[in-house]
Amino acid sequence: MSTFIDNLSNNMLLLPVSMGRIQLEVKTKKGADAIKSALGVAEGVRAGGTIGALGAMTDLAAELINRPYGHARTYTYTHTLAAAVRGHRIVTTTRTPEHLTRYAEFRHAMTNGINEFMPQYEAYYASTNGIADMGSSQITIPHPDAVREKAYINVGVPQQIRPADLDGMNRPAGLAADIAARTDAHIMQQAEAAKTAAVEELSKAVDNIEKQLTSGKRLHDSLISNAQNASRNLREFTDSFDNDPRLIEACDIVDDRIASSTLEQVKNSETLRSQAVRAASTASKSLKRVASAPAVSDEVGTIITGDSLLADLID
């Protein structure tokens, strides 16, 4: 087992996360025809007009149910790392309790929202017989059961990232070596996917900082915090995986010269603004060099491709 995989299995976990929200808008033919007429769109050209999918209850659904979903989704993409396994995120072992606590809060908020919303929606659905009057138009609204099953935040048991352990099993030695090599390769592919995503997120954040602080007119509060979160994610992953000094240096630049100041301080100080722009440019160039370099997985192990039972089935 390589040092990279050993580091990963000791410091990272796969966290199953899935979530769903209520569809708030539905396309209507009348809306599409009205848009085509107003814009003079030619026949055969796509155009669509939408209307609240839950009739008069749409705005309440957005507030009580989809808002907690949005908070959970934002948290997922800013505080956890992408995984090659669908429906999973990579998290550090040290921050797992923090993540579980936050997801419990999001789930609790959504559950409360559903409990408040559904009795009102059920009464509304019964009073309209499932046909909502929208002025000069009518739409069929979904059954309460269909609405309820769409909204959820589910988090599973955190899973270890570990290589194949075939010691003590009755198996041919060649097959065992092939299984171990393929398992290691799969783990490394997951790790490289997470690393690539983390590098891209920080690169996107610093590129946005350079652009907005140079020519942007309206600076959002998330400008600095996005870079701060992305730097933390990349640093934690790098510390837990390959300790790439180039990435650690890029994170240091972001933390010391950008994230150390608030947005208000940067906006009101030409010195801090110039420092942040230069730091963002430097970090961006460093991250792009790493992104174009060979993956560390290229240096780890070799899958048996010759006389192999698995090769005949998989390769």
% the chain with pLDDT above 90: 63
Instruction: Work out the pLDDT band at 171, boundaries 50, 70, 90.
Output: low
For 40, phi and psi rounded to 5 degrees? 70, 35
pLDDT of residue 66: 97
Each residue of 186-238: pLDDT tens digit?
A: 888 888 889 999 999 999 999 999 999 999 878 898 999 999 999 999 999 99
Instruction: Work out the pLDDT band at 70, boundaries 50, 70, 90.
Output: very high
| Residue with more model confidence, 218 or 166 | 218
As a whole number of angstroms, the distance between CA 113 and CA 111 comes to: 5
Average pLDDT over the chain reads: 87
Each residue of 109-154: pLDDT tens digit?
A: 999 999 999 999 999 999 999 998 766 678 889 999 999 999 999 9
Each residue of 88-105: pLDDT tens digit?
A: 999 999 999 999 999 999
Reported pTM: 0.82
Contact 240, 7 (CB under 8 A): yes
pLDDT of residue 175: 77
Q: Per-residue pLDDT for 36 more than 70?
A: no
Each residue of 106-119: pLDDT tens digit?
A: 999 999 999 999 99
Q: Per-residue pLDDT for 50 more than 80?
A: no
Instruction: Work out the pLDDT band at 244, boundaries 50, 70, 90.
Output: very high
CA distances 271 to 218, 228, 288, 289, Å, are: 19, 20, 26, 27
